[in-house]
Amino acid sequence: MKIEQIYTGCLAQGAYYIVSENEAAIIDPLREIQPYIDRLQKDDVTLKYIFETHFHADFVSGHVDLSKKTGAPIVYGPTAQPAFEAIVAEDNQVFEIGKIKIKVLHTPGHTMESSTFLLIDENGKETAIFSGDTLFLGDVGRPDLAQKAASMTQEELAGLLYESLQNKIMPLADDITVYPAHGAGSACGKNMQKETVDSLGNQKKSNYALNQPNKEAFVEAVLDGLTAPPKYFGMNVAMNKGGYESFEKVLDKGLNALSAEDFETAAEETGAVILDTRNAAEFHKGFIPNAVNIGLKGDFAPWAGAMIVDVQQPLLLVTDEGTEKEVITRLSRVGFDNVIGYLKGGFETWKNSGKETDSINRISPDEFAEKFNENSKVIDVRKISEYEAEHVNDAYNRPLDAIADWAGTTDDSEHFFLHCAGGYRSMIAASILNAKGIRNFTEVEGGFNGIKKTEKVPTTDFVCQSKTS
């Protein structure tokens, strides 16, 4: 028996490849399926089942394409209603792969169809659980994503999750290995550990959610501090449940090299968002007017989903040469299938054509320290928790993921400084504000981390002094 965790850091997502004898199973595959096909061919095994722990919200699974390519059936837990052919398993139903077995444990709460897959090895020993978004390391799945579909409140779903954990997971042996669907950085939970594999026994001791005295305390603890989910989540669920265009077609359509003239025409005719994926250090020096910067070298796909929101929105790409395929692939993982082309030769092509360019005023932390005074207005786009831990005195906290709400109320007549933790998120914010006509600001390179190192700017960590409006 072989178990391989295939972890994708930018999505904080774990897929699983399991082999026994000449058969294999794959759990929660990513959108692009060729790496799985390659593994199957290399191991000379047949894919027998594709298991989906639930209808994912934060990424588009490769289940549909993988099933079409291999003929392997897709397996969901009880109550699932996919729009395509699949096996909707019964609670405790067992599936055989080679000499091992996978038992379906229906664990609703995160979503109604959410299930945990219990692996039973060749000797009949319960060895591991693939817990999806039911149980993370250090946390549990957020219980607010299925409210509309389930006609239940998040409190009721949290109560269901408590029962699932208590009745299905907690009775299992401590030496069972936990393989979750996500790790730290995923928006599907709030308190996940950086580790991606652990023993169930250790989770029983260390996971706050598993150590609540009763259901009421569990519901309160799990819902406490839960922020609104990213808006693209619902569209990803719809794609996972209803099916989608094949990844090969999406890639073929997106790999459409355009001259500067054709790029400009496409932008005007389609209303496409111009997405510039270069790093902030390059972007701020020069870019196509109204372009949105989300750097590829970062949490690219989740931020693209959070900022662009509509997965049907046409996109035109400005990339570092040679990264076009990677950009399209990573966008497709979160459902953005409507890339209509990219600027051949990158931004240099645009600049050399003599067309209009724009730029962002960016300064170093030391320059910020020299300019900062008690009358300076500072906007901090980090998460509330980061801001509350420590921030520049009197800074306003306006998280990036809520920029659609606060950008329109920003006063462009008053200059402000803009920063995040390291410069990635603040340049996203800067590009969006700039595209909205808000330009009277200066972005700080290196963010709060750089500002703090100067030891010249007063900061505070008192939550009671938080300034959020």
Q: Coil, helix or strand for 3?
A: strand
Say if strands 198-199 and 177-180 run parallel, antiparallel, or are unpaired.
antiparallel
pLDDT of residue 304: 96
Indicate whether 466 pLDDT > 90.
no
Q: Coil, helix or strand for 19?
A: strand
pLDDT of residue 187: 82
Beta bridge partners of 47: 24
Question: Which pTM was predicted?
Answer: 0.92
Residue-wise DSSP of 364-433 = -HHHHHHH--TT--EEE-S-HHHHHH-EETT-EE--GGGHHHHGGG--TTS-EEEE-SSSHHHHHHHHHH
Beta bridge partners of 129: 118, 178
**Average of pLDDT values for 171-187?**
94
Six token digits for residue 191? 């308190």
Distance CA 319, CA 325 (A): 10
pLDDT tens digits for range 206-240: 999 999 999 999 999 999 988 888 889 999 999 99
**Average of pLDDT values for 362-382?**
96
**Average of pLDDT values for 232-256?**
95
Topology annotation, domain 245-352: Oxidized Rhodanese; domain 1 (3.40.250)
**Average of pLDDT values for 279-306?**
96
Indicate whether 382 pLDDT > 60.
yes
**Average of pLDDT values for 184-194?**
84
Considering the domain 2-235 in this protein, what is its CATH number?
3.60.15.10
**Do 144 and 152 touch, CB atoms closer than 8 A?**
no
Q: Domain locations in the chain?
A: 2-235, 245-352, 362-465
pLDDT tens digits for range 295-325: 999 899 999 999 998 999 999 999 999 999 9
**Average of pLDDT values for 352-360?**
97
Q: List, as own/partner pairs, every contact residues 4-7 make where C-beta atoms lie below 8 angstroms and the sequence separation is at least 24, other chains included.
A: 4/39, 5/179, 5/196, 5/197, 6/30, 6/35, 7/183, 7/196
Burial class of residue 374 in the structure, from the number of CB atoms within 10 Å of its CB (0-12 exposed, 13-18 middle, 19+ buried):
exposed
**Average of pLDDT values for 49-59?**
97
* Residue 149 banded pLDDT, cuts 50, 70, 90: low
- The residue among 226 and 2 whose pLDDT is bigger is 2
**Do 409 and 433 touch, CB atoms closer than 8 A?**
no
Distance CA 80, CA 233 (A): 18
pLDDT of residue 147: 64
**Do 146 and 112 touch, CB atoms closer than 8 A?**
yes
pLDDT tens digits for range 326-345: 999 999 999 999 999 999 99
pLDDT of residue 469: 44
Indicate whether 463 pLDDT > 60.
no
Indicate whether 128 pLDDT > 70.
yes
Say if strands 257-258 and 273-276 run parallel, antiparallel, or are unpaired.
unpaired
Distance CA 269, CA 377 (A): 39
Percent of the chain with pLDDT over 90: 90
Distance CA 137, CA 202 (A): 9
- Is 362-465 in the same CATH topology as 245-352? yes
Amino acid at site 385: S
**Do 68 and 97 touch, CB atoms closer than 8 A?**
no
Considering the domain 362-465 in this protein, what is its CATH number?
3.40.250.10
pLDDT of residue 95: 98
**Do 377 and 444 touch, CB atoms closer than 8 A?**
no
